[in-house]
């Protein structure tokens, strides 16, 4: 990606969409969804541009989020 501002913009959109999906699917308040996402290992990888997981779809990111909540870890899909 060409610069930090572009990545920050993309990350903001992804986090917003992923938070909305967590809220809808888990039937939790938005505040709780945001807190859970920010505390997750997934988020630490998501905010690191070099991992490239920001390129994954929101449904796939949600699946990884649920996998982490269920098992304590997640596995990156094969590319």
Mean pLDDT (the chain, rounded): 93
The answer to whether residue 79 is domain-embedded is no
Given a contact cutoff of 8 angstroms between Cβ atoms, the answer to whether 15 and 47 are in contact is no
What range defines the domain where residue 16 resides? Answer: 4-71
Whether 75 has a pLDDT exceeding 80, the answer reads yes
What's the CA gap between 62 and 30, in Å, rounded?
15
Residues with Cβ within 8 Å of 43's Cβ and at least 6 positions away in sequence, in order, are: 15, 37
The answer to whether residue 39 is domain-embedded is yes
Count: domains in the chain: 1
Measured on CA atoms in the order 46, 51, 56, 60, is the torsion positive or negative? negative
The answer to whether residue 76 is domain-embedded is no
pLDDT tens-digit series, residues 56-74 = 999 999 999 999 999 999 9
More confident residue, 36 or 4: 36
The answer to whether residue 12 is domain-embedded is yes
The answer to whether residue 21 is domain-embedded is yes
The answer to whether residue 52 is domain-embedded is yes
């Amino acid at each position: 990606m060409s610069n930090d501002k572009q990545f920050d913009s993309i990350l903001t959109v992804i986090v917003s969409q992923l938070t909305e999906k967590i809220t809808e699917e888990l039937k939790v308040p938005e505040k709780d969804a945001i807190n859970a996402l920010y505390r997750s290992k997934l988020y630490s990888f998501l905010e690191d541009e070099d991992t490239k997981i920001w390129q994954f779809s929101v449904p796939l990111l949600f699946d990884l989020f649920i996998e982490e909540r269920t098992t304590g870890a997640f596995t990156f899909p094969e590319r």
